């Protein structure tokens, strides 16, 4: 059978240029605006990283303070959105809630135009509001009132506070902050591409971000972190991991948290998250989740090599699962937590799509298809079918 570009999920097709991030899949290198992810994880904060992605350079002290102040402005769940969330069934999937809430946020947009400046304001509005929607929905679905944000807390610490109802200690807050830096951008992944396609039609930032959330929700993309936790809970015993993974392979199923469309070596974010997961869980009563994660990766790599004669590696979604679980976050909320960090990258990409530098004529994404369906057929009246 001939393999068309369409059959390979556009792997290797260069869709557009970007200055925002770079993935070197052969060598396991990830750069945001030229800065190594390892260095940003060690030295930066989510707010600073979001600024870097949006503006292209690291802010000075005043610029960072001004940006952080702007991000603090929209941390409260708007009353009308809170009321509409209260009308939903508590069973509604948090990613569906998030996806549908973003267009509703546009009613509170801080700017109405389509200039770059207006889009920057909308970007900050969305980055700031998403944690409030996620935490608000978590509390509403549990029959509780959404909490008001705390001024003095960082985005990461404030999210954990609004989600769990307790101010996290500095250690936990920093873990969440680093996780958010690591998830903030990753070039033309499926969700960012979806957001850019929507932006390329001239649609607004809220429409593009909603598409990004929808694309991220799938288990092959950002939904994999929740699937990792579901799998660990399903095994529930380090001694059952080998048998469980073997069965997955026998059934031809993929093991969530492993494999990547671009990396042909370790995902650098997985290396950082692996260390974080160990540090967070080593003295935790639920250390078993870390142990099982390690075993699951080891057995998957072994079986994959036996079957295909090549290596496969953990991705960003593998170790984040036990980290978020240890933070008191239910796995249904793992993909939204990923999304609230990725909002920084999505908004930066939407702005880049709308305002390329140097300016070029706007281009609508519109690939061709290879039609393999029926050619012209005679229409048969319904009474004769």
Residues in the site for ligand ACO, rule: CB under 6 A?
189, 220-222, 224, 254-261, 312, 315-317
Q: How far is the CB of 114 from ligand OAA (least distance, A)?
A: 27
Residues in the chain: 385
User: With respect to ligand ACO, which residue has the nearer C-beta, 238 or 257?
Assistant: 257
49/33 Cα distance (integer angstroms): 10
Identify whether 331 is a catalytic site residue: no
Give SS3 for 32. Answer: strand
Site for ligand OAA in 185-214 (CB under 6 A): 186, 189
Site for ligand OAA in 238-257 (CB under 6 A): none
Catalytic residue, candidates 260, 267, 325, 349: 260
Strand partners, 35: 32
Identify whether 260 is a catalytic site residue: yes
29 sits near ligand OAA (criterion: CB under 6 A): no
Strand partners, 22: 31
Q: How far is the CB of 216 from ligand ACO (least distance, A)?
A: 8
262 sits near ligand OAA (criterion: CB under 6 A): yes
248/101 Cα distance (integer angstroms): 36
316 sits near ligand OAA (criterion: CB under 6 A): yes
Nearest residue to ligand OAA, by Cβ distance, number only: 189
Q: What stretches of the chain show up as alpha helix (H) in DSSP? A: 37-43, 46-55, 61-72, 79-86, 94-105, 116-141, 155-164, 170-183, 190-200, 205-216, 224-235, 241-250, 268-281, 288-308, 316-326, 334-354
The correct pick among 261, 264, 279, 356 for binding ligand OAA (CB under 6 A) is 261
Q: Which does 262 bind (CB under 5 to 8 A by kind): ligand ACO, ligand OAA, none?
A: ligand OAA
Tokens 């009613």, residue located:
107
Instruction: Name the token pair of 345.
Output: 């990258």
Site for ligand OAA in 115-134 (CB under 6 A): none
Sign of CA pseudo-dihedral 126, 53, 205, 340? negative
Q: Which residues are catalytic?
A: 260, 317
Kindly list the residues in this chain that would bind ligand OAA in the complex (CB under 6 A): 186, 189, 261-262, 315-316
């Amino acid at each position: 059978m001939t393999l068309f570009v369409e059959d390979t999920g556009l792997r290797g097709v260069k869709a557009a240029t970007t200055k925002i991030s770079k993935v070197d899949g052969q060598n396991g290198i990830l750069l945001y605006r030229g800065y190594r992810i390892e260095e940003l994880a060690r030295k930066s904060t989510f707010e600073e990283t979001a600024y870097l992605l949006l503006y292209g350079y690291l802010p000075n002290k005043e610029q960072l303070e001004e940006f952080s102040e702007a991000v603090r402005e929209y941390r409260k769940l708007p009353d009308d959105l809170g009321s509409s969330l209260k009308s939903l069934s508590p069973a509604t999937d948090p990613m569906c809630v998030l996806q549908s809430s973003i267009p509703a946020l546009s009613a509170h947009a801080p700017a109405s135009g389509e200039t770059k400046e207006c889009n920057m304001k909308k970007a900050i509005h969305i980055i700031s509001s998403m944690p409030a929607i996620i935490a608000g929905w978590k509390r509403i679905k549990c029959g509780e009132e959404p909490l008001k944000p705390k001024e003095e807390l960082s985005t990461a610490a404030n999210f954990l506070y609004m989600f769990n109802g307790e101010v996290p200690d500095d250690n936990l807050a920093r873990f969440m902050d680093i996780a958010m830096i690591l998830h903030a951008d990753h070039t033309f992944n499926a969700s960012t591409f979806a957001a850019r396609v929507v932006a390329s039609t001239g649609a607004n930032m809220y429409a593009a971000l909603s598409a990004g959330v929808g694309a991220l929700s799938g288990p092959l993309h950002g939904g994999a972190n929740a699937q990792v936790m579901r799998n660990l809970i399903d095994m529930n015993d380090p001694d059952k991991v080998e048998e469980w993974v073997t069965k997955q392979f026998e059934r031809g199923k993929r093991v969530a948290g492993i494999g990547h469309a671009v990396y042909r070596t370790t995902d650098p974010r997985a290396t950082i998250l692996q260390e974080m997961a160990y540090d967070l869980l080593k003295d935790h009563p639920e250390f078993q989740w870390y142990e099982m994660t390690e075993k699951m990766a080891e057995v998957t790599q072994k079986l994959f090599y036996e079957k295909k004669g090549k290596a496969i590696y953990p991705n960003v979604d593998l170790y984040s699962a036990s980290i978020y679980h240890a933070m008191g976050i239910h796995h249904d909320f793992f993909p939204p937590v990923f999304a609230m960090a990725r909002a920084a990258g999505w908004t930066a990409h939407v702005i880049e799509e709308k305002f390329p530098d140097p300016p070029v004529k706007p281009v609508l994404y519109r690939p061709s298809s290879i039609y393999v369906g029926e050619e012209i057929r005679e229409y048969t009246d319904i009474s004769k079918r």
